[in-house]
Amino acid sequence: MVDKVLVVDDEPEILRFLGEFLGRNGYEVFQARDGVAGLKELFAHQPDLVLVDIMMPLMDGYTLCRRIREVSNVPIIMVSGVSQDVSKVEALKIGADDYVTKPFSITELAARIGAALRRSRLPPPTSLKRYSDAILDLDFQKREVMVRGQLLSLTPSEFNLLTVLVQNGDKVLTWQQLFDALELQGKDAYDVLKWHVFTLRRKLENAPSHSQCIISVRGVGYRYAQPSE
């Protein structure tokens, strides 16, 4: 099966370069030069991953990311010339799975694309098909999460993070163990993990007691505390 990648960037040279590189590496590539066209390409081709620039005409990358998250959990990597931490934080908060700063190493970008695709298809680490507690119900095969009977929309990274935590019971998982489980790489791995934890907690706020079940263990990592009614 050939993975489909949608590249949304207003710079023709970036589109040409990424199109040629990704095509040579076995991907089917679709392109758009602004967010509005990018959204149309998303609906038309149902890509397996989206690369999104931030500063674009008609619809910027932040808005496009939000619109995509309204309808899809496809992995999103933001590719931007904006290097400030606040920009990275905003991208992760609205649902991006990763963030790469221009100018970027093409080999690093290729590795991040591969990691994001693998995360989106990560099989459950145990033979269990479901997990349930007083509030939460996970179907690992269907990749569905229910909170108090309501379907919860999670990004691939958020779902994989929650899966790893619940399947390890009350065990504390170190940051490095979570980096490895989620295939996070590079100097930004800690910040990416921290914001995936933040967004996952925020989405669990429909069950306030449950949002507190992802416990920070200072200086070590995180653990999952099974809730009671």
The per-residue pLDDT for range 17-27, each reduced to its tens digit, is 999 999 999 99
Share of the chain above pLDDT 70, in %: 91
**Domains contained in the chain, CATH given:** 4-120 (3.40.50.2300), 130-224 (1.10.10.10)
User: Is residue 156 exposed (0-12), middle (13-18) or buried (19+ Cβ within 10 Å)?
Assistant: buried
**Contact of 147 with 154, CB cutoff 8 Å:** no
Q: What average pLDDT score do residues 196-220 get?
A: 77
Q: What confidence score (pLDDT) does residue 101 get?
A: 84
Dist CA 19 CA 17 (whole Å) = 5
Give 81-133 pLDDT, tens digit per residue.
Answer: 776 677 778 888 888 888 888 888 898 899 889 888 887 775 445 556 788 88
The conformational region for residue 46 under phi > 0 = left, psi -120 to 50 = alpha, else beta, is left
Q: For the chain, give percent helix, strand, coil, nearest 5.
A: 45, 20, 35
pTM of the predicted model as reported, rounded to 2 decimal places: 0.60
Q: What is the DSSP string of 87-122?
A: HHHHHHHTT-SEEEESS--HHHHHHHHHHHHHHHTP
pLDDT at 104: 82
